Amino acid sequence: MSMIVGLTGGIASGKTTVANLFHQHFAIDLVDADIVARQVVEPESAGLNAILEHFGSDIVTNNGELNRPKLREIIFHDEQQKQWINQLLHPMIRQEMQRQLAEVTSPYGLLVVPLLVENQLQSMADRILVIDVSEPIQIERTMMRDQVSEKQARAILASQATREQRLAIADDVIKNDDKNQELLPQIAELHQKYLALSRENR
């Protein structure tokens, strides 16, 4: 199996941008936890069927897809239901991520997990790459991107692991503070490093 690099960072740190640059420029396979989380609740999936059975038919839209705003509202107000959902979906997501990681054919693969620290998924990767951004910039980007107030942006930030917690588990760090941050040279350098490491691990 290829070496796996876990890629994480707080909200609006540029995780997707970095992951896509690795993929576009160096043909590195990606496994993205957010995409997997959607796949396990696709229509007709075991995940969606279990949710449907638990919450009733109101939880799906007319075209048979999960009504995400409705589910978000339920679990936002009810801690028990939130735990029920997490206990159902987290193992499914983890299993599907492992299945996709086993299919990686590039010299190393990237496992993109926003909540890597929060969900303690470090063990799924051989190395951890953290995209690091200062909090004021995260808040500014979140407000612009998601059209939310500063208060909301700060609340999202407060619900995630701290910058210090992420950096404490990092093997590698990409700085992404500036507007025109030179990401590609940082990525190219890491790519060479990961190629060397993956050859050593063979």
Which residues make up each annotated binding site for ATP?
A: 12-17
Q: Which of 6, 5, 15 is nearest to 133 (CA)?
A: 15
- The label of the residue with tokens 């420029």 reads 25
Residues annotated in the binding site, as ranges?
12-17
SS3 114: coil
Strands lying side by side in the sheet with 3-9? 29-32, 108-112, 3-9, 127-132, 172-175
33-80-76-17 Cα dihedral, nearest 10 degrees: -10
